Chains A and B, each alone.
Chain A
């Protein structure tokens, strides 16, 4: 069996002392940041990227992935204990989780979240291991036109995630694509939009974009709001759920895992979307639907399993096709690029130990998180009492050092400063930064495929629709846009993001 051979290679890689250590550090840092509100996973990963510069690519990615799902765990802990979702994917967990905590079942809620996430993590790891090779095989048969259409689909799919207007989200993607084109054109060697500034010759570094748009702009936004965070600590007791709770929780965990695994693979899917979907689904089919909002255990089990499953399966499009399905995955593309690895189907052939090691480390990481989180709850809750005025300067200076150490060039710091103002203006205008980051990462690749497709077809645009794969991807894109424009779905989507 290939699968077993591959997984054992993966576990051999993931269980090496160094990788275990960095997975652990990643999980720990991720949880830490996940607990702290006001800084999302994108900014976290961007901020901690410099830590990985000196590591081998495999270890670096293992650590970054650890940060990512650590942040999810941390986010749900605070959602339950203090009604403060640390991450947007745990927004729905706060609804019923916090109510459970208020009714004295904080321990049960935490256990449910931990168990659900762990279970989902295990299943998603297997899904990833089973489907990724097949998809990568498929990706090899893709021509340039197909890739171009796939990226269009991925980008359009990604905007389901944005809570604001779809039109503006599309504009943000375009803006990102354009920003991505700044720098030397690979085909002709022409410098585009560089104004003779040497730091722009290689294009804007994506770390600058991520930190400017997410790190700094977020801090400025947070500071303009009044800091009225209440912190109080509940006593957590009775982690183990009763048999009755367990019976209600288990099916919800299964459903959440399935839903999350599927939604995670889809372009634009991801942790946020699946946790919302799982909550709505559980509420709809539950016998206890009147309990939702008042502390229904399914309302914690479903979304928590779903977001963790999706967080992991969203690596599939990245690792097999090189298409990031959300902003975090866009960062992973950047991280891989820094380490000279081009994401795509060839990763599995050229760097099998990276590919399978990363997958195996996800499972290891999930196990670590369960072990790490439950005994350390007290510490995490304590962290919430640190006032924001001490936190944000730390975020800012870490970002600055990260940007500077990219290539020891202060020009990157100035570029980041400009982008953070730009990011803040966009946030003010109700335009979301996430689609822009995706566009930015995909811009150069998209242009490349677009040009190659045209060259191959001798300048005929029909290549995008005569090619069966490309055509079906474009039809899917058109379908997606149509669905989102249907009034009732539009309304639903707005409702779903109301709590955001």
Chain B
């Protein structure tokens, strides 16, 4: 047995895992009966169907006529980590450091995810975007966003 499509193989695995997890999770909830379906009824059914279809996708990975192996390709760690890191950082920092500090830092972090990163561009971009966002969201739309570091 040779995996002829990496993408399909991994998709199948993912689908089975997600479907299975939802179906197993659904067993914690009341099923009810068909006359009065409980909260577990619908997700259990959907989870099972998803897992079954996942098996079909998984098998198709072995029967595929592709010859190139349909590889998933390289994982771009740098953009992935920088961007997700920046988002999480923003979530952590906003309530503590406030918009004025966390916002430009986040922009520099996201900029570091690109392949053409230079400090000059990143800082310039951070400055422009911070001022712009301040004007649009805080001054213009009056969204409630903590501005300065929380002292307590």
Going nearest first, the 3 A-B pairs with the smallest beta carbon separation are: A459-B34, A224-B76, A459-B35
* A177 CB within 8 Å of chain B: yes
- Say whether B18 contacts A425, CB under 8 Å: no
**Selected interface stretch from A103-111, A367-375, A446-454:** A446-454
Are B94's CB and A390's CB within 8 A? no
Indicate with 1 or 0, residue by residue over A180-199, a CB within 8 angstroms of chain B CB atoms.
Answer: 01000101101011000000
Give CA–CA (A424, B111) in the complex, Å. 18
How far does the Cβ of B131 sit from chain A's closest Cβ, in whole Å? Answer: 12
B 25-52 binary contact with A (CB < 8 Å = 1; else 0): 1100110011111110111001101100
Q: In whole Å, how far is B139's beta carbon from the nearest beta carbon of chain A?
A: 13
Residues of A within 8 Å of B95, CB to CB, are 410
Residue B39 contacts which of A175, A190, A404, A430 (CB distance < 8 angstroms)? A190
Interface residues on chain A, number (Cβ under 8 Å):
64
B10, B25, B38, B54: the one contacting A171 at CB < 8 Å is B54
Question: Which A residues contact B (CB, under 8 angstroms)?
Answer: 50-51, 53-54, 167-168, 170-171, 174-175, 177-178, 181, 185, 187-188, 190, 192-193, 216, 219-220, 223-224, 226-227, 387-390, 392-394, 396-398, 400-401, 404-405, 408, 410-411, 413-414, 416-417, 420-421, 424-425, 428-431, 447, 450-451, 454-455, 458-461
Q: Are B39 and A185 touching (Cβ within 8 A)?
A: yes
Residue interface mask B82-125, A partner, CB < 8 A = 1: 01101110111011000000010011001101111100010001
A-B contact sample (13 more), CB < 8 A, given A397-B107, A413-B88, A413-B90: A167-B60, A216-B83, A223-B76, A398-B133, A401-B137, A404-B145, A405-B143, A408-B145, A410-B91, A428-B72, A428-B73, A454-B34, A455-B35
CB-based contact A223/B115 at 8 Å: yes
- Identify whether the interface residues of B are mostly helix, strand, loop, or mixed: helix
| Closest B residue, CB atoms, query A212 | B87
Interface flag for B56 (CB, 8 Å): yes
Query: What DSSP secondary structure best describes chain A's contact surface?
Result: helix
What separation, in Å, do the CA atoms of A224 and B79 have in the docked complex? 7
Total CB contacts across the A-B interface at under 8 A: 187
Q: Which residue of the partner chain, among B15, B30, B90, B114, contacts A223 with CB atoms under 8 Å? A: B114
B53 to chain A, nearest CB (A): 5
User: Measured between C-beta atoms, what is the minimum distance from A477 to chain B in Å?
Assistant: 15
Q: Is the CB of A410 within 8 A of B94?
A: yes
Our pick among B53, B84, B137 for the contact of A421 (Cβ within 8 Å) is B84
Measured between beta carbons, the chain A residues less than 8 angstroms from B79 are: 219-220, 223-224
